[in-house]
Structure 1
Amino acid sequence: MSERGNTLLPFQHTNPDHSRLKKPRAARTASVLLLAVGALMFNAAPSDAATATTVKVASYNVDSAWREVSQPEIPGWDSRAVGVKNVINTVRPDVIGLQEAQNIQVGSRYYTQASDIQRMTSYAMYQPADATSSRIPILWRGGLFEATAAGYKIFEFKPYPLYGRAMTWVKLRSRATATEFFVFNTHFENGADGQAARNAEAAMLAAEITRVNPGGLPAFVTGDFNASATSSAPQTIQLNAIGYVDSYGRTAARMHPEFKTYNGYTLGAAGDAHIDQVFVAAGNVAVHYWENWMPYGDQVVGGRAPSDHDLIYTVATIQ
């Protein structure tokens, strides 16, 4: 096992308007927007509005640049990166846990996917140098938050181009309210034969969260868990046991719950398999809204979604 902490990259400041939901279009009616705004105003609102910290937290598996080897008919990373950038710059999450944002050699080209995304979106970022954990960086809006600590833990090593599985974390402080909270990010083993690995990873994730956050500060867990969000999923069992719940189940204000979060490079895959999730600390985070973002316009690349996963996010208030 490896572990590293308190390593931060330079902060980058961004537009502090974090309340804007996506621009309406034909599929998003005024009534839906009113529902979301109403939820933000009335659902589990904190008693002291002056010190409330509301955050939009996203999870986004952007898919490795290795895709050009395994599936060359899919647009390459340079093209997909523009679509990913446009998704992020439209949704404008306050914090994003990325998965498969690789530093990876593919043929004669060395890709730095997380750095590409940071450069095009102007978010601050924590990305460990270790090859296993560098694939799961955490980004945040530097104009809203400052990072006071960060670290990672390796669950298992694997050879190139897979590298292995790990988790990363940052502790953020609101520049407006001084509220502190944690964000944990991970990516579990995939495949039908990966159940034993996912069980082990879920247990290690829960143990590391407990170690890093013994005082129970408000916290979010983002990730591609590669197991549908059911009561028997390993992430559900282990995170529920330490007081974290899936944000999806904490609000009735949802957009596109009828689509899978894994889209296979299609523009919307019908189904209820949500393998990408944002968990929240049940005791001190109130959830107002959840969305599975459907790419459109300049977010679409060659008629496809810019990744084989959708970005999902939740809007929540730290109590």
Structure 2
Amino acid sequence: MLAIGASVLGAAPSNAAATTTVTVASYNVDSAWREVSEPKIPHWDSRVVGVKNVINAVKPDVIGIQEAPNITIGPRQYTQASDIKRMTGYAMYQPANGTAEPIPIMWRAGLFKRTASSYKVFEFRPYPDYGRAMTWVKLKSRATGNEFFVFNTHFEVGVGGQAARNSEAVKLAAEIRRVNPSGLPAFVTGDFNDPSGISAPHAIQLSAIGYADSYGLTAARMHPEFSTFNDYRRPAVGDYRIDQVYVGAANGVMVQYWENWTPSGDQLVGGRPPSDHNLIYTTATFP
């Protein structure tokens, strides 16, 4: 029922020309390389069915995807983002540059039109690794004409990556400020690989430019007791909430709802979630 409600909220009512309502999700779907690093986990061809079923159940209007690269494993060429696009029917922006490919942005083309898009590389790494980067799109509501930005990123992982995450946070905030100098409503999706909190480097940098974690802007939350990183287990109680959606609160974005989606039924693959991360989403309105 909650998923249906989110879908309804995602379509801006025709009689509310001055206000746009949008459901924005962040989802790390895990690289197909997992079949090499951890063969016991189901392969991408199986997992993508669960990923598709999660997305089709939630029906977000916009999704920032992480770890969906074009990647070659043995004789096989995987195009993970394109698989998701084909199976869900979303429109997609995915840069051709290899360092940015794991972080596409998808949206419902019937609701929004892309008016601009680009990316910024933070650190370059040669294939088969990928560097850290961000992508962004500027979308226009077909119902209201209102425009907004969505920024998507994936920060460095691991205890030894803290210095990199500090640097990435500074670069992310600087690029958001450069791309959106007029302060249009905006959302930032990502796997930040740092638990949420005011001391996290991305929280500090985003707060300085008027952005806030959507989790803290509403009391209407579902499954806040679970970590967003599930490690292919279900569900995982804890506060390891490294996947987040930030909103431009200073730019008039008002949050109504937040959810940490826990897969079930046909969203599971071999009894496991289809990724080691849960999809999270927020529903918000802006003028």
Taking structure 2 as the reference length, the TM-score comes to 0.95
Q: Which residue of 21, 31, 40 maps to 2:2?
A: 21
Match of 2:12 in 1: none
Alignment of 1:20-59 (within 5 A): 21-22=2-3, 49-59=16-26
Match of 1:133 in 2: 100
- Spell out, residue by residue over 1:203-236, the C-alpha distance to the aligned partner (whole angstroms, 9 max, x if none): 0000000000000000000000000001110110
Match of 2:271 in 1: 303
Shift of 1:49: 3.7
Shift of 1:178: 0.1
- 1:124 matched to 2:91? The reply is yes
Gaps of 5+ in 1: 1-19, 24-32, 41-47
Alignment of 1:224-303 (within 5 A): 224-283=191-250, 284-303=252-271
Match of 2:34 in 1: 67
Shift of 1:272: 1.1
- Spell out, residue by residue over 1:20-61, the C-alpha distance to the aligned partner (whole angstroms, 9 max, x if none): 8326xxxxxxxxx8xx99xx8xxxxxxx94421000000000
Match of 1:185 in 2: 152
The list of structure 1 runs, each at least 4 consecutive aligned residues, that deviate by more than 3 angstroms after superposition, is none
Aligned alpha-carbon RMSD (Å): 1.5
| Aligned-partner residue type, residue 21 of structure 1 | L
CA distance in 2, matches of 1:269, 1:107: 33
CA distance in 1, matches of 2:246, 2:3: 22
CA distance in 2, matches of 1:274, 1:162: 25
Shift of 1:174: 0.1
| Aligned-partner residue type, residue 282 of structure 2 | T
Shift of 1:267: 1.4
Gaps of 5+ in 2: 10-14
Q: Which residue of 124, 132, 139 maps to 1:172?
A: 139
CA distance in 1, matches of 2:161, 2:275: 22
Taking structure 1 as the reference length, the TM-score comes to 0.86
| Aligned-partner residue type, residue 82 of structure 1 | V
Shift of 1:62: 0.1
* Number of equivalent positions: 280
Match of 1:214 in 2: 181
Counterpart secondary structure, 1:51: coil
CA distance in 2, matches of 1:301, 1:279: 30
- 1:205 matched to 2:186? The reply is no
Shift of 1:162: 2.1
